[in-house]
Structure 1
Amino acid sequence: MRQSHFHDIYEIYYLVSGERNYLIGDRTYRISTGDLVFISPYELHRATNTSVPYNDSIVINFSKTFLGDDRVWIEDELSPFASGRHVLSLPLPVRTRVEEIFRTMELEYRERNIAFEGVIRAALAELLIVGIRHNRAASDKTNEYDDPHHQKISEIVRFINDNYGQPITLDALSARFYISPYHLSRLFKKMTGFTYVEYVATVRIYAAQKLLRETKWKVQRIMEHVGFQNLAHFGKVFKKTSGCTPLQYRKGSGV
């Protein structure tokens, strides 16, 4: 299993050119040139290639503290992540400005002149303001599906996210969503980047991590709650996904 993609920092993804499938939270998107993507901390996401052979993207990650604890408008600046709109399709003039902002950040980071972090922080604030101002004005892909396959797989993803604590078999999903096991497996991998088995395990580990961070439940109880049946198997999958054991993860989170 490849390393799962969720983390405790914010992420902004910008597609300079090309096209990609993107799983974010409980649905999939097809993103294209000029799309700006906002991903919150601990939100499961993964981008995969489409039939378009080439793509170029920019990714930045930052913590809330990087913006500065003394900023009066910090919650407003972070509002693009809380709006429910993961993907904004920007008009060409706005894309041009966004790419200038990214170039400024890259140059400052590479050259590291005096006060470069302040310049990067200011550029990031401007980028977030672009997100705020165009959150409503830009084309919103949150509630639209340009491909019925994206809608079908998003429905399956949502079902798994809501029912990960219960047994979930490929045959049961196939019957529930009126799609053959073969086509379900094929489409799921194509749209999300995960196999069905990988995704179910990843969602369960994500839920286990949250419980390890936020509760004092015993590992056995957490294992059962998130849908694993065997403690040794749970420990093996957890370590493969998280890079540490459940107890090490809990210790690192300060619980």
Structure 2
Amino acid sequence: MTTHQSSSRQTLANTFADAFLQYNSRLVVPIHLPHAFQALHPFASPEIAQLVSTFYHKYYADYDLRVTLLGINPGRFGGGITGIPFTDPIRLKEKCGIDHHLPMKPELSSQFIYEMIERYGGVQMFYHHFFIHSLYPLALVKDGKNVNYYDDKALFDAVYPDIISHIQALLQLPICRRVVICIGEGKNFALLQKLNQTYHWWQTIIPVAHPRFIMQYKRKQMELYLQQYLQVLHQAKQDCFDKS
């Protein structure tokens, strides 16, 4: 056990799952978004809240340290429906083994992430070592279509304080502070770098290409990107767990 793991066990009263779910239950739909933008809040549904609880108690019912991966914000067909980042209803049922009655619609990012998880060793091993979330915790839409938090300046200004408070809340969980993986090599990485220079959350940030970009524009090179992800995961795991 590393000193970071020992510290986490001493300071976290609840399991990783319980601590995260307590935070998650306090999320509310923001009322300060610019006109025409909307945040999706699936956790308000009792069915989704139960699915989320089942997922985290299944994979995070311990006090162990994880390496964090941070995306942009959930998509309306993935975390915007299931409440679980990068996990669409198909992957939730077929890969995570959690039954539900949600429409079985696929999401491109979820397809890539779960192929990567399978290559890593499967959901049990992956979620024991890693924790996935996003810089902004809720799906954002405009006119029924996905938007990123940085697509509009007024939207970005509105959610900027929430991004900071969200990450600071996640850091109360037992997550590794040596390294974080940023999903998105452009604006998402630039913002996380900027914030990290101010708040000193992590020692190292490693960027990787976003799964949607890969699946939409680089699908022929998917195998290459999968190998890049796996290399980064193993390096981050080594940096976090294998050094005193």
What TM-score does the superposition give when structure 1 sets the normalisation length? 0.22
Pick 1 or 2: higher relative contact order, CA cutoff 8 A, min separation 6.
Answer: 2
What TM-score does the superposition give when structure 2 sets the normalisation length? 0.23
Q: Bigger radius of gyration, 1 or 2?
A: 1
